[in-house]
Chains A and B, each alone.
Chain A
Amino acid sequence: MNMTMTQKILAKSGNLPYVKPGQLIMAELDMVLANDITAPVAIDEFESHGFTDIYNKEKVALIMDHFTPNKDIKAAQQCKKCRVFAKRMDITNFYDVGDMGIEHALLPERGLVKPSEVIIGADSHTCTYGALGAFSTGVGSTDMAAGMATGKAWFKVPEAIKVELTGSLNKGVVGKDVILTLIGMIGVDGALYKSLEFQGEGIKSLTMDDRLTICNMAIEAGAKNGIFPVDEVTVAYLNDKVKEPYEVMEADSDAVYSDTVKIDLGDIVPVVALPHLPSNTKPVKDAKGIKIDQVVIGSCTNGRLSDMEQAASVLKGRKVHPDVRCIVIPATQKVFKECIEKGYMNIFLDAGCVVSTPTCGPCLGGHMGVLAHGERCVATTNRNFVGRMGHHTSEIYLSGPLAAASSAVLGEIGFIDERSKDND
């Protein structure tokens, strides 16, 4: 039937036997989510158009993660609006301070996303859940309001780019390096309106955290979604989280792709994306020596336990450079607790880092690490646009947690090779 994995999921959600690229469909939604910035706009739209009920109280998730704990009075009002709405609608998956985490780390951790589901979120990084074999994509607040009211969303069936991965990653190379390398190859609109479908024997060597990071940044190549097939790694990850049965879909053997990109994972090196586009990718060694003022380790891209572990492996027994503020943000309460249990928290504090409760805060220049005029930050976040983290003259360098923690110690962009304990 020559359909890609995405096309097959969309066909099922539209109750259609077959879909083709460009076809408009109305899909049934398995989850609709929003955060404290996008939900208030959606709630206003929902109410002003006279809707009074949500389609399914268990299939709407509101996560208070962006400007929380409330950064100012206006942000507090926005959270309050969400809280009141969630109570009135009896929304099961309402996550507030003390319980919440960064949305795209939290939902998979709570077993709220499953393979072959169709998920929309009023947050562009909703594409993260493709790592679990779901079709998930970011939308705006009006789409979110419509999704809450009707359980449906319209889509134009996308073409797909096949990303064929071979080989395996070398030590010190992580999922973030894979996705930044790919974006560097195809550009920030290289997958515009399309799916990025990851395939090939190389995927079996990628951990679930690697895959979540890779799909998280599919939007940074303009993609509608990124998606991995379901394999043993996926099943093992889902085992203790998802109780209900789920369907597994795979691309047809004769599926048609608009392009194929081949990457040997063994060729990838630690990279950094220079200002002001995620596609300005360079090997870390070619950016060495750029002085920095701040490091942020966290976000929906790299705030999971393995990211914390990587940062701790570099920071153990070392000190953050005196000219650098290093902010570590475990993405969920669970990750935070595990950082304590595994001793990472002591490593971070002894190194001179500050550790924050889960929040998106600094990634979008909200709070918890806003940059001043001309300051430079190495961040494990996902965007290095002009002004993204603060003043419009500040600069953001995107990397994985190993390079970010290394740069925090060195006071400049660099990579500490654990095997030699020397600077690369």
Chain B
Amino acid sequence: MIKGRAHVFPDNVDTDVIIPARYLNTQDKKELASHVMEDIDKDFVNKVKKGDVISAGWNFGCGSSREHAPIAIKEAGVSAVIAKTFARIFYRNAINIGLAIIESEEAASDIEEGDEIEINFDSGEIVNVTKDKVYRGEPFPEFIKAIIEKGGLLNYLKEGGSDGI
């Protein structure tokens, strides 16, 4: 279960605005996090609090394959991203590094800035505490849940995963 305040973003948030390439000369997670969303909302790093969630429109994380993007979001304290859809490389990367994500057009259409959100990843249920509403999200298939439970893809493989497919 995840619980936090929502920050709302539009459609097609690309990885260049999530973490501009001028900062890709480092792998330092804290440094990456200090620039997260800088080119789309330069105050985001000051506003975001540990546990907050991002709610965005279609195609979140489109563009470059840089894993620095979900890393920067996670390291900034964001506990989960809800979006109408995710760009596919971002989707993989988020799972692989253990950033919680969930697709729900219903939730992402209705959530407003500052709403208090609870997410149950097992059931796919997203609760908007502020608006007293419940939305349906798409829960992960078992294989992906297993990767997340092991703490990411490499741990999963290390423990002999992949038989589950």
Interface residues in chain A, defined as those with a beta carbon under 8 Å from any beta carbon in chain B: 24-26, 37-38, 40-41, 44-46, 49-51, 66-67, 71-72, 74-75, 78, 121-124, 126, 138-143, 145-146, 149-150, 152, 154, 188-189, 192-193, 219, 222, 224, 277, 364-366, 370, 383, 385-388, 392
Partner of B153, one of A143, A192, A385: A143
B59 interface hit (Cβ, 8 Å): yes
**CA of A45 to CA of B156, assembled, Å:** 13
B3 proximity list for chain A (CB < 8 A): none
Segment at the A interface, from B15-23, B104-112, B115-123, B130-138 = B15-23
Q: How far is the CB of B104 from chain A (nearest CB, A)?
A: 16
Residues of B within 8 A of A219 (CB): 63, 89
8 tightest Cβ-Cβ pairs between the two chains A and B:
A140-B93, A74-B25, A142-B96, A140-B67, A189-B59, A364-B21, A387-B39, A124-B65
Contact of A140 among B26, B58, B62, B89 (CB under 8 A): B89
Report chain B residues within 8 Å CB of A364: 16, 21, 24, 64
Contacts of B24 in A (CB 8 A): 37, 66-67, 364, 366
Bound Cα distance from A51 to B154, whole angstroms: 9
- Residues of chain B lying within 8 A (CB to CB) of residue A138: 65, 89
Q: Which of A24, A50, A188, A277 contacts B158 (CB 8 A)?
A: A50
Of A38, A51, A222, the most chain B CB neighbours within 10 A belong to A222
**Residues of A contacting B143 in the complex (Cβ-Cβ under 8 angstroms):** 24, 154
Whether the pair B65, A123 counts as a contact (CB closer than 8 A) is yes
Pairs across A and B, CB under 8 Å, 13 listed: A37-B25, A41-B67, A78-B27, A122-B67, A126-B65, A138-B65, A140-B70, A140-B89, A145-B154, A146-B153, A150-B157, A383-B16, A386-B14
Contact B65 A122 (CB under 8 A): yes
A366 cross-chain contacts in B, Cβ below 8 A: 21-22, 24
When the two chains form their complex, are residues A222 and B154 in contact, meaning their CB atoms are under 8 A apart?
no
Q: Looking across the interface, which residue of chain A has its beta carbon closest to that of B91?
A: A193
- In the complex, the answer to whether B157 meets A149 with C-beta atoms within 8 Å is yes
Interface size range of chain B in the complex: 35 or more
Nearest residue, chain A, Cβ from B60:
A189
**Is the pair B66, A38 in contact by a Cβ cutoff of 8 Å?**
yes
Residues in A with CB closer than 8 Å to B141 are: 24
Contact mask for chain B residues 37-65; partner A; CB cutoff 8 A; 1 contact, 0 none: 00110000000000000000011001111
In the bound complex, do residue B165 and residue A142 qualify as a contact, i.e. CB atoms below 8 Å apart?
Answer: no
CB distance from B13 to the nearest CB of A (A): 10
A189 B16 Cβ-Cβ under 8 A:
no
- Measured CB to CB, the residues of B under 8 A from A are 12, 14, 16-17, 20-22, 24-27, 39-40, 58-59, 62-68, 70-71, 85, 87-89, 92-93, 96-97, 141, 143, 152-155, 157-158, 162, 165
- In whole angstroms, how far apart are the Cα atoms of A40 and B26 in the complex? 9
With contacts A146-B154, A392-B39 taken as known, whether A192 is within 8 angstroms of B85 at the C-beta atoms is: yes
Q: A78-B27, A124-B63, A138-B89 are in contact. List 11 more A-B contacts (CB 8 A).
A: A38-B66, A40-B27, A138-B65, A140-B65, A140-B92, A149-B157, A192-B59, A364-B24, A365-B21, A385-B14, A386-B39
By beta carbon, the residue of chain B nearest A22 is B141
Q: Across the interface, name the chain B residue whose C-beta is closest to A23.
A: B165
Contact B25 A387 (CB under 8 A): no
Checking A41, A49, A126 against B154 with a beta-carbon cut-off of 8 angstroms, the contacting residue is A49
Nearest B residue to A73 by beta-carbon distance?
A: B25
Contact yes or no, A124 B64, CB < 8 A: yes
Question: When the two chains form the complex, which single residue of A123, A143, A149 contacts B92, counting CB atoms closer than 8 Å?
Answer: A143
Are B162 and A152 touching (Cβ within 8 A)? Answer: yes
Contact of B16 among A74, A370, A386 (CB under 8 A): A386
* Contacts A74-B25, A188-B12; A193 near B88 (Cβ below 8 A): yes
Partner of B17, one of A143, A193, A385: A385
